[in-house]
A and B are shown apart, each in its own frame.
Chain A
Amino acid sequence: MPSLSFNAGTIELRGAAEDAAFVRDTALAWDARAACFRAPAIAYADVIRALRADGVAIDDEARRYTELERRAIVHREPRPFQAEAVEAWRRARGRGVVVLPTGAGKTHVAVMAIEDRRRSALIVAPTLDLVRQWYDVLAATFGVAIGVVGGGEHDVQPLTVTTYDSAYLHMEHLGSRFGLVVFDECHHLPSPTYALAARLAIAPFRLGLTATPERTDGLDAALAALVGPTVYRRDIGELAGEYLAEYDTERVEVELSPEEREEHDAERQIYRDFVGMNGIVMSSPRGFGEFIMRASRSADGRRAMKAYRRQRELAFAATAKLAYLEHLFSVHRHDRALVFTQDNATAHLVSRTFLVPVITHQTKVTERSAILSAFAAGTYGAIVTSKVLNEGVDVPDANVAVVLSGSGSVREHVQRLGRILRQREGKRALLYEIVTARTTETFTSDRRREHDAYR
């Protein structure tokens, strides 16, 4: 009897002749190097189905995942849209993407999917903070040991949590051990490297979770092949009030001081002159890369780069911005506020000036956990962060967000808003966006607000 096995992210069919007809409609291809048929692991379910349909019996050694021995020990009544999402996913043969806004309870959808399929499951999340969060939820819900791969740990259990980076590195060894893979914040998955994590796994069941599947590079189309089609979608506007906190957004424009304005305009002119003289089109996809490259070639270029940085710095951390932030800290001193910045330097400046804790990618995991715990406990009333709290990390008590600076990304802005929308009784969330007038920030702000959530 032919046998099917898993080998380094591929499946091999041995014991079948090179001209075997039954492989014709499958992804299996003859591999002369090893004298066997081979297919990427992601094709496992299709291969099994095709062989079964043709009545071909095989010895399946590839599947090394198990059925979960224990059911969940904590049962939460799902919200109607969560039940609908899982039902839609089930109808799509357990392969698909569920799009729900931040704070709507995507984690519970995944728990229901694991409970529904009862197969060994791997959860892939973008950051170690999220890995820690998933670990806590799964341990509390299923009451079993949860495995962790990443951040210096390598413990594989029937329920395991990992990062996208670790999944890319280790899936060639782990790819046969899970029947279900949950890709949290799955808009990260379609990048060329991370996509391999999906391709090297045999998991017949796949669930993608995101609030914002769209990518500016258009690669989100690949999600259908890597995970499955979008099977369910609800946006912020549809759930606000009933399942998400009500919210208001407020854009505040501040002016540079005369000295700042003078310096800003002078520095900007130096940068613009260099760009113009070198024929660099900054609006083109390669524009910024070309600017960096040319700037590093000469003293004039290095000066232009310095000027570029300085005019941004002035816009990002204008005196009036910081003064308004002080005002907001005062007004919301009994609330829980998250302050978002575009860069680490501004985050550290805010932290140093107002003595609020800061979380950036450089913050060690233990300190991050301590800060988030103290924030949840009310010890800290505010946290300033650059981008690491943009997505996923659960800060349910936050009710005020201040976007001090940011990119033009709609996704980033929606994710930041999502941080304060977790529902609490009587909660009304507030998002402030402080923009420096007559700088590129106003244009950037307009771009990132092109979403229903801000209309």
Chain B
Amino acid sequence: MLTADLVDARRRDGELLLRPLDRDGRVEALAVGAALLEAAHACVGKRREELDEAWDAAADGAAPKRFKMVAGLRKLVADACGFEAETEVDPIELRRVLFTHASEARRAREEGERFDRDAVVADAAKLLAIPPEVVDRALFSDLRSEHVLRAPPALDAASLVEAWELGQAQAVLLTAVRITCEVSSASPGLVRAFFAKLKFNKLLFSAERIAGDEAHGWRIVIDGPYSMFDAVTKYGLRLAIAFPALRVLERWSLVADIKWGKAREALVFRLSCDDARAPAERGGAAAEVASAPDAAAPAPASRTVDAAKTRRKKKSAKAAATPIPSPEELHLSDDVRELLDGINRGGSGWRARPASVLLDVPGQGVCIPDLELRRDGERQPIYVEVLGYWSRDAVFRRVELAERGLGARVVFAVSSRLRVSAEVLDEAIASALYVYKGKMSPRAVADHATRIAGSKR
């Protein structure tokens, strides 16, 4: 991931604006990316220091105004490289033997007697049964600067530039204190995956339907519990990690309150699907630019506009064709995966699979079940939402939602560490609160499901 200091952006009227790549910029980015990758491939077996020099040379011709882009691409290439220490001898053991011997030799000499480094090295080499020249070579071979490039990056220039564009937005979000986003998608699975990602990252959010787009649109405010008292960037990393799940939605926009730079200046950062094109299409555009016969020449303004229009047309076609990921593709945390497997192995008659619905109580909020349980003869599924170590707040909100009518039967699984009693959920409601200690029991969840299914409510 890029860091905030590598973001190519400018401030204007209280906003932080990313500098998008224009046609020339994209050509240059692809050229620099290719040169950096090529240098890395040519430096396999060489030390990091030599690789740094090769990268300096590779980026030498880049336009000065693009220095942040160059630095960002370089970081991403470096992150994708595999380095290793040369391991002909254990450097820690070598240092122990050498320095111990040197200390003894220094103490044993007379006042004014010269410290004979070469003799000490030769003696230590003898003790270690290695040639003296290996001692000097291997002395600090475990240091980062001495590491040798073993595996060059396995990506091409187009995907590197694509990763840089995503990384730019993510790096800004690292400094975010709160995000408000509006999303719209005809694919419930994608929206659900986004909510699941927020939940997985233990972010708090409030969600409501967007007036005029009740069928598919959501307005979501995302932050953390402490955000009420202070604009903290503590949740920035989690917000950045959740961003790719937002980007795959058909329509989305976000407004982030950020604290920018060393001075932590309060700014606003806006981004939408109109600014950031879909990843697959970006690859296409990159290929188009790279393969254009006049790729290196500046494009006429009218052509740029036409190209943008074409891209927008392509994008809408692309959006309509976005495949809905199967429920199995949705992200499951380890404990939920374990519960799912346990229920399917347990012989309770219930079959579990990842849920793909959102349960919405208009004006009140949304519940995002993790699992869907079905069994023969049961027409409606029972859902399981794992609240785990979330907050007591979240539990009480779910209780309120259930009381107001979720339109589905749900087992809410809550850790006993939240100190919530199962009784807070009225028995007259077709849902259950399962309070567990330590680890969730698949059998207990199945029992709760059976109880709810068997009730006449």
Binding site for B on A (CB under 8 A): 5, 7-10, 12, 29, 31, 33-36, 38-40, 61, 168, 172-173, 192-193, 196, 199-200, 289, 293, 296-299, 302, 326, 329-330, 333-334, 348, 351-357, 362, 364, 367, 370, 374, 379-382
Contacts and interface: CB of A to CB of B under 8 A. Distances in A.
B115 A354 contact: yes
Contact of A297 (B67, B96, B107, B136): B67
17 contacts: A10-B225, A10-B226, A33-B393, A40-B230, A61-B419, A196-B226, A196-B234, A200-B226, A296-B67, A297-B65, A298-B64, A329-B115, A333-B107, A351-B140, A354-B102, A374-B100, A380-B99
Interface in B87-135: 92, 95-96, 98-100, 102-103, 106-107, 109, 111-112, 115, 117, 120-121
B245 interface: no
B60 A299 contact: yes
Q: Which of B64, B65, B71, B224: most chain A Cβ within 10 A?
A: B64
Contacts of A374: 100
Given A196-B234, A357-B95, A34 B226 contact: no
A220 to B, nearest CB: 18
Contacts of A173: 389
A299 B103 CA distance: 45
Contact of B143 (A8, A298, A333, A362): A362
Interface residues of B, number: 47
A27 to B, nearest CB: 9
Contacts of A334: 107
Interface string B409-451: 0000000000100000000000000000000000000000000
B111 A192 contact: no
Nearest to B221: A33
Contacts of B115: 326, 329-330, 354
Interface in B237-292: 262, 264
B106 A381 contact: yes
Contact of B392 (A7, A351, A370): A7
A40 B112 CA distance: 65
A10 B95 contact: no
A380 B65 CA distance: 52
A1 B100 CA distance: 68
A40 B226 contact: yes
B232 interface: yes
A367 B392 CA distance: 44
Contacts of A8: 224-226, 391
Contacts of B317: none
Contacts of A61: 419
A380 to B, nearest CB: 5
B226 A330 contact: no
A12 to B, nearest CB: 7
Interface in B372-428: 389, 391-393, 396-397, 419
Contacts of B335: none
B100 A379 contact: yes
A398 to B, nearest CB: 14
Given A5-B419, A10-B228, A356 B392 contact: no
A38 B103 contact: no
B11 interface: no
B4 to A, nearest CB: 13
B56 interface: yes
Q: Which of A40, A168, A380: most chain B Cβ within 10 A?
A: A380
Contacts of A200: 226
Given A196-B234, A330-B115, A297 B225 contact: no
B206 interface: yes
Given A12-B392, A12-B393, A302-B56, A7 B106 contact: no
B78 to A, nearest CB: 15
Contact of B102 (A5, A31, A355, A362): A355
A362 B99 CA distance: 18
Given A7-B393, A352-B140, A333 B109 contact: yes
A353 B102 CA distance: 11
A33 B67 contact: no
A70 to B, nearest CB: 26
B144 interface: yes
B103 A289 contact: no
A334 B393 CA distance: 64
Given A172-B225, A293-B67, A333-B107, 12 more contacts: A8-B224, A8-B226, A10-B225, A31-B228, A199-B230, A326-B115, A330-B109, A330-B115, A334-B107, A364-B92, A370-B96, A374-B100
Nearest to A383: B99
Contacts of A35: 396
B9 interface: no
B231 to A, nearest CB: 10
B121 to A, nearest CB: 8
A298 B61 CA distance: 9
Contact of B264 (A34, A192, A296, A364): A192
A381 B103 CA distance: 6
B430 to A, nearest CB: 24
A296 B95 CA distance: 37
Q: Which of B98, B103, B121, B232: most chain A Cβ within 10 A?
A: B103
B226 A356 contact: no
B397 A34 contact: yes
Contacts of B100: 374, 379-380
A367 B140 CA distance: 13
Contacts of B109: 330, 333
A377 B157 CA distance: 55
B246 to A, nearest CB: 21
Q: Which of B99, B117, B232: most chain A Cβ within 10 A?
A: B99
Contacts of A10: 225-226, 228-229
B229 A33 contact: no
B229 A40 contact: yes
A34 B393 contact: yes
A326 B117 CA distance: 12
A366 to B, nearest CB: 8
B76 interface: no
A173 B117 CA distance: 53
Contacts of A5: 392, 419
B80 interface: no
A192 B259 CA distance: 12
B129 to A, nearest CB: 19
Nearest to B419: A61
Contacts of B330: none
